[in-house]
Structure 1
């Protein structure tokens, strides 16, 4: 029986956009596991699986429910040890935890503000009202104001990617010659931006952009199954 993945969508059910859900989709594909997806909107999340979680991703694997993208990856590694590894040992788990924190502080902190208005505009009317109220309370500004500041902050954001840039110039993936969950963490954040907004985060020649293109080609081009936002 395929694993079920609940993933976040807006008006277009064929355009899942959560970075955390993309991490999980990449992890499932990395393991070579069959899975089906359940498009889930913001206001639908509290009702899924009898209210077991407040956030997606959530997977159902038989009788087992697991939420949180990192916990899901750990579960998949333990439950399916015979399949391609997501971590390559405890060192890879530690690496992925570091990358998760770096991604949150560097990628999510910029993308999460810069693209708020783009995300809002792709939601249904009820979700738009929820999203605007909750995000404007969180950032202390309007979505429009946050969007207007992104051009000013873009150069500094690109400069902040120097550690990742140096790594992927020297090797194919964060995991080395092959991807690990650490790659999926960062690719999930960039995929979030790619599918939700036409705003260009990276120049095409940037080694990070070249690495991301390699990630989009993985698993039969899973990431490319959703076209870039236009």
Structure 2
């Protein structure tokens, strides 16, 4: 390993009032680092602390610092990790990279978008007290001026559509233990990150208790890399 490879890695990650890492995009990189066997130092930050990092250079987390390299956005970080640490690649071939990007586009449009509208008030209530005013104003603006309480008011009626939208994951998991096949890949880390996000704040279980396909996959995903996805602060994902 060259000199750059020996530099310490720091990961700036969004945390809630209870200290739990919450961002689905941060969790992708947490899994990516574990996949490669790379230790890192966690640098927790709240929503209002992000603009104070690195002179306001970045608006979102994750932010990864490795030697002189500082970068944000999960896809850019994943690409950098494969360049800097080619052992245990996240993407075995450009075709795999392209297919996982397609999966991410579908997942963001069909799953994350629905999750936001169901859990946005829970996220607000779980954030650090000093972050709540910012979170409310910024998210209500994105949601067309609706109050968070209005967005969440009928969430129970919208939950079945979200559960149904997860059908492609169930279909894949009926044939393989992971979305990546016999072993997890970055597609698993994308999806697992979203479930970690919900589990960090939810007051409404996302999944039916009978959802055995997703239950088995989540158990395997949380157990990966020595069980680093396990956390007693996680809220129940199943009814």
Do both share a fold (TM > 0.5)?
A: yes
Partner of 1:122: 126
Structure 1 unaligned runs (5+)? none
Contact 2:115–2:162, Cα closer than 8 Å, also in 1? no
Inter-partner Cα distance in structure 2 for 1:142 and 1:217: 37
Distance 1:137 1:193 in 2: 22
Q: CA deviation at 1:51?
A: 2.1
The verdict on how the C-alpha distance between 1:227 and 1:10 changes in structure 2, with shifts beyond 3 A counting, is closer
Q: Which residue of 2 aligns with 1:145?
A: 150
Name 2:4's counterpart in structure 1. Answer: none
Aligned partner of 2:234 in structure 1 is: 228
- Structure-2 residue corresponding to 1:24: 29
Alignment coverage as a number of residue pairs:
228
- The reply on whether 1:185 has 2:190 as its aligned counterpart is yes
| Equivalence for 2:50 | 45
Once the two structures are superposed, residues 36-55 of structure 1 have per-residue CA deviations (whole angstroms, 9 ceiling, x without a partner) of 11111111101112222111
Change (3 A) 1:226 1:31: farther
Q: TM-score, normalised on structure 1?
A: 0.94
Q: Which of these residues, 2, 9, 14, is aligned with residue 8 of structure 2?
A: 2
Structure 2 residue 39 is the aligned partner of structure 1 residue 34: yes
CA distance in 1, matches of 2:111, 2:216: 17
- Whole-angstrom CA distance in 2 between matches of 1:24 and 1:49: 20
Cα separation, 1, equivalents of 2:18 and 2:233? 12
Return the offset for 1:107: 1.6
Equivalent residue for 2:89?
85
Tell me the distance in 1 between the aligned counterparts of 2:186 and 2:195: 14
Aligned equivalent of 1:211, options 209, 212, 217: 217
Runs of 4+ with >6 A deviation: none
TM-score w.r.t. the length of structure 2 is 0.91
Structure 1 window deviating more from structure 2 (147-156 vs 24-33): it is 147-156
